[in-house]
C-alpha cells in the first residue's frame, strides 16, 4: 500500500482532495527546493502573460483614478 497522505521529498507536492484529507497523486520528480513539477507549477503560479493581461484591465485603471 502506497502512502499518498504526505508529499514525498523530491516529488511534486500537488495536492488533491478536500480540507483534511489530501492526497498527492503526482509523483513527478522536482528539483530540491521546488514544490511542483512543471505541469502543476503552471497551474499554481499564474504565467507572466496572464498576469499582464489581468493588470491591463483592472489595476492600471484604478491606479490612474486614485492618482487623478
Cell numbers for 53, please give them. Answer: 493581461
Query: Quick check: 41 binds Zn ion (CB under 5 A)?
Result: no
Structure-derived torsion over alpha carbons of residues 26, 31, 33, 34, reported in degrees to the nearest 10: -50
| Member of 28, 42, 54, 61 binding Zn ion (CB under 5 A) | 28
Query: Quick check: 14 binds Zn ion (CB under 5 A)?
Result: yes
Residue placing its CB nearer to Zn ion in the complex, 31 or 65: 31
Residues 6+ apart with CB under 8 A from 10: 29, 30, 32
Residues that bind Zn ion (CB under 5 A): 12, 14, 26, 28, 37, 40
Amino acid at each position: 500500500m502506497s502512502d499518498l497522505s504526505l508529499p514525498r521529498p523530491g516529488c511534486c507536492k500537488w495536492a488533491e482532495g478536500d480540507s483534511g484529507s489530501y492526497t498527492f497523486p503526482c509523483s513527478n520528480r522536482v528539483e530540491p527546493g521546488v514544490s511542483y513539477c512543471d505541469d502543476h507549477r503552471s497551474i499554481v503560479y499564474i504565467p507572466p502573460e496572464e498576469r499582464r493581461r489581468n493588470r491591463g484591465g483592472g489595476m492600471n485603471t484604478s491606479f490612474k483614478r486614485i492618482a487623478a
